Homo-oligomer: A and B are copies of this chain.
Amino acid sequence: MNYLDTIQQYINNLPQEVHQALKEASTIRRYKKGDLLLQQGEVCQRSFHLLTGIARKYYLNEGKEITTEIYFQNDLALSFESYVLQKPGREYIEALTDIEVSATPFNAFRALRKQFPALMELDVMLSEYYAIWLEQRLFQFYTLSATERYRAILEKSPQLIQHIPLTMLASYLGISLETLSRIRAKI
């Protein structure tokens, strides 16, 4: 069982009243493919729990989009630094298909966290999980070549390759589109 499963189990075991309170604090929203849930320069004022569809997070560098995270069903989408510090960020969150999310305002979650210690604990777990995920990504940049990074994704997250254009995948891997195309041709 990995940490994400542990967290999921922790969520499943939360008392009914906590689930209820969370639900009341959140609103269901629908977005069309291509819609932006968050834009550069905005404060990330809510977390988006992805109920259906696919989304991504990216930022612009020298006019090019760099995709940093792909979200699938049940993932939690937010611009971390902007959300945590409640200050304008540089990231965009975009719907890659029509999506449905449960949006929870930062302030509302803060209040609930105070009220229910179990949610505070959940918050620790989520940040820890994200940090561990980031460590692993960084580890890959340190130790793997472009081809190896692509292979690692093939093995660990094949759904990622099937659902997003290669341009996004290339930027996610930190390589050019052409290089990715050549890697794929060889494998």
Contact = CB atoms under 8 A, between A and B. Distances in A.
Contacts of A121: 120
A82 to B, nearest CB: 10
A132 interface: yes
Interface residues of A, number: 28
B138 A80 contact: no
Interface in A122-151: 123-124, 127-128, 130-132, 134-135, 137-138, 141-143
A131 B120 contact: no
A3 interface: yes
**Shortest beta-carbon contacts, A-B, top 8:** A134-B134, A127-B127, A131-B131, A61-B143, A141-B141, A84-B128, A81-B132, A124-B124
